[in-house]
Structure 1
Amino acid sequence: MAAQTPHSTEQAALSLTLAVVTASPGPLLLLDGDLNIVAASRAFGEVFEIDVEAAAGGPLSGLGAGEWDRPRLLSLLAATASGAAPIDAHELVLQRPGHPPRSLVIHAQPLAYLDLDNPRLLVSVTDLTQSRSDHKRKDDALAQSLVLLSEVRHRVANSLQIIASVLLQNARKTRSEETRGHLKDAHNRVMSVAALERQLSQSTEEEIELQTYFVSLCDSIAASMIADPDQISLIVTGDGGMVGAHTSVSLGLIVTELVINALKHAFPDGRHGRIVVDCQVRGPNWSLSVTDDGVGMPAQPSLIRTGLGTSIVQALATQLDAAVETGPAHPGTRITITHTQIALVDDEEADEPAAGRAAAGL
């Protein structure tokens, strides 16, 4: 068998490259150093309606009706052909006469040939028009859904507020103190959910800023249950933070129950005082406390009463994987609900103590 010369090897490599480019199932171009078309795949011709045989030997800028004559693209291709970095992803919008614009991504890579005086450039074209269009339709549908959801939540909040108003009116009309108390409690529970729905209707996210939510909620409770703001004040403190809608529903109901309980029991006989709702959020960890400076808890545990509100708070805290702690506030009572999610220790940090123990022979 006759030995192959460098020239024959080069010709064989070029012939193979031309065959691969021509048969490629995707749009491919093989250009020379002057950005003239050496070969084009049949897929390129079909996608962009180009006669690939007639285009061979002509400049890239002359393809079609001149839509490929893009100075930025030609400059990048020339730089790549001269040995600069390859084009990883150059985006352009191709506007062909009589056709809608197409979003393309261009990749270009110089090919290594023995004949360095005749560089070759392999150019692939990815058409993202359909996927971009699909994404846009998806984004438009999502935006429309969010608008509809916001409207639904706004209507739900209005409906809940109407229900709460009816409950409050009935509470004022009834002669039974016990019934009046139950109706007022129900009113505040409904207002708790209504305040949350109103917050969600004004937000584009499925999260709630607790500080704003608790201020709105406590204003509503104070308006319905505190006759004289100079006698009892209800304030919100803390740095707030964002939590999911599901968590905020439970926290709002917990605040409602604890504030109602404090207003009922902490300030008997016209006693003046203050109730503080404090919330702190640190990533996945959060704490909520409701503190009053009232008469405090009975000294004898047997005298501590557990009613419906206490059961509701405990049940909601359990759903949130949170712990409830009740204790004195000197004066008054503080109830704290804490959710702690244990962070995973970094592998390197975990290995260091182990290595230290091994070195110490422990």
Structure 2
Amino acid sequence: MLRRLLRPALTQSVSTALRWLAAGGLVLVFFGIRVSLFPEQQGLPFLFFFPAIILSAVVFDRGSGIFATLLSAVLAVYFFFPPHGSFAVLDRSALVSIALFTVTGLFVALVTEALHLAYQNVEKLREQAEEARRHAEEVAHERDLLLAELEHRVKNDLARISATISLQAMESSPETVAALDAVNERVRVLARVHDRLGRPDGTHPMEIDVCDYLRDLVTDLRTNLTNLTPIALALAGESHLLSISRAGAVGLVLNELVTNAVKHAFPGDRSGTVTLRFSREGDEYLLAVSDDGVGMAQSPPEEVPEEFRRRAGMGRRLMRALAAQLDGNIVTGPTGPGGGVTQTLRFPVQARAG
């Protein structure tokens, strides 16, 4: 009730003359209460006027409290100070009382109106902030709807691309099937990124936990690459947040490294383990893929089939491009004295601006 009374819109369409007229009515109401309660008592002539002054300043402002003060002083002098019914005040102490009441009333009116004006400004700012909050919520809701629609469309498109590639592979030569399978696996990596875009609460983050994302990729790779081979995949990852674009690049690099290790490090159905590790070292992230396979130089270059060299070269070019996108690089070296290969992607924690 008090807030509604103090709202700035309550009387803003009322003219100043009507405000002062209403303030005068309040003064007359409290004057009537004073006279009706204490018809014979002449003491406390100003006490009942203060509520009228304060209410006038709060409700009507624009000088209404000042007008109420002056009108109250006039009524008090005329009716409560001898000689009654006259403005000729003879007692000096009465003059002091009248002057003190007038000064006090004017002070109260001015302070009250100033506080009321400050309250009105604060209330306007609060309403503006509330409106801005509602608008921001509407924009965020619309953004979430658009992102959900985009996510749905992209996932459908990726699924169609993957299905088309699979159909094409059914009618192709073995070499083409292998190439299409590699492309299809890269499409699945991108699809995993979009799987991470949607959350159960309906929000769409701009960053994802790279450990959870890589764990899903490793699960897919186990199914698609090592399901029929005696090769184990092991993941040791730290939880770090990466942007969608950076996580996608990391996933594609991981896919290439693991695919190369599974296909080329264990010839002749040889068993082994491919170990993946994602961690942070200082200002860099590190993705390492290690195998305990045959090593780097088991066959002379002239004995390596041309088709294999061509595919390996294309894979290396793709990985270099992805590493450059991350402002990083890939280093290849032996896993240990017993053989094997370790390939390590390093890239900075802070992405380059622009």
When normalised by structure 1's length, the TM-score is 0.59
Offset from partner CA, 1:289-322 (integer Å, 9 cap, x none): 1121211211799689551111111111112111
**Shift in Å at residue 237 of structure 1?**
1.5
Query: Contact between 1:215 and 1:235, CA under 8 Å: does it hold in 2?
Result: no
The CA distance in 2 between the partners of 1:178 and 1:60, in whole Å, is: 93
1:275-314 mapped onto 2 (5 Å cutoff): 275-281=274-280, 285-298=284-297, 306-314=312-320
| Amino acid corresponding to residue 206 of structure 2 in structure 1 | E
1:223-242 equivalent positions in 2, closer than 5 A: 223-228=223-228, 231-242=230-241
Runs of 4+ in 1 over 3 A off after TM superposition: 42-45, 47-56, 59-64, 118-122, 168-171, 281-285, 299-306
> 1:308, 1:48 → 2: CA distance?
80
Mark the CA change 1:332 to 1:282 in structure 2 (over 3 Å): closer, same or farther: closer
Residues 276 and 288 in structure 2, CA contact (< 8 A), matched pair in contact too: yes
Partner amino acid, structure 2, of 1:153: E
- Compare relative contact order (CA 8 Å, sep 6+) and give the higher one, 1 or 2: 2
Q: Paired residue for 1:58?
A: 54
Distance 1:266 1:249 in 2: 25
Q: Which moved further from structure 2: 197-206 or 49-58?
A: 49-58
Q: Which runs of 5+ in 2 are unaligned?
A: 1-5, 24-51, 61-102
In the alignment, which residue of structure 2 is the partner of 1:210?
210
* % identical aligned pairs: 28
Question: Which has the greater radius of gyration?
Answer: 2
Q: Which moved more, 1:211-220 or 1:173-182?
A: 173-182
Partner Cα distance (1:226, 1:47) in 2: 79
Match of 1:35 in 2: none
**What residue is the counterpart of 2:12 in the other structure?**
46
Taking structure 1 as reference, are residues 341 and 205 closer, same or farther at Cα in structure 2, changes over 3 Å only?
A: closer
Q: Greater strand share, 1 or 2?
A: 1
Letter in 2 for 1:193: L
Task: Tell me the CA shift for residue 159 of structure 1.
Answer: 2.8
Residue 326 of structure 1: how far off its partner (Å): 1.0
Match of 1:189 in 2: 186
Compare 48-57 and 208-217 and name the one that shifted more. Answer: 48-57
Closer, same or farther: CA 277–333 of 1 in aligned 2, 3 Å: same
Question: In the alignment, which residue of structure 1 is the partner of 2:69?
Answer: none
Question: Distance in 2 between the 1:217 and 1:133 partners?
Answer: 44
Q: TM-score, normalised by structure 2?
A: 0.61
| Deviation (angstroms), 1:62 | 7.2
How many residues align structurally? Answer: 250
Q: Distance in 1 between matches of 2:225 and 2:291?
A: 16
Asked if the contact 1:154/1:201 (under 8 Å) is kept, the reply is no
3-state DSSP class of the match of 1:218? helix
* Residue identity opposite 1:314 in structure 2: R
More helix by share: 2
Query: Which ranges of structure 1 fall in alignment gaps of 5 or more residues?
Result: 1-39, 65-113, 343-362
CA distance in 2, matches of 1:325, 1:185: 22
Q: What residue number does 2:128 align with?
A: 130
> 1:158 corresponds to which residue?
156
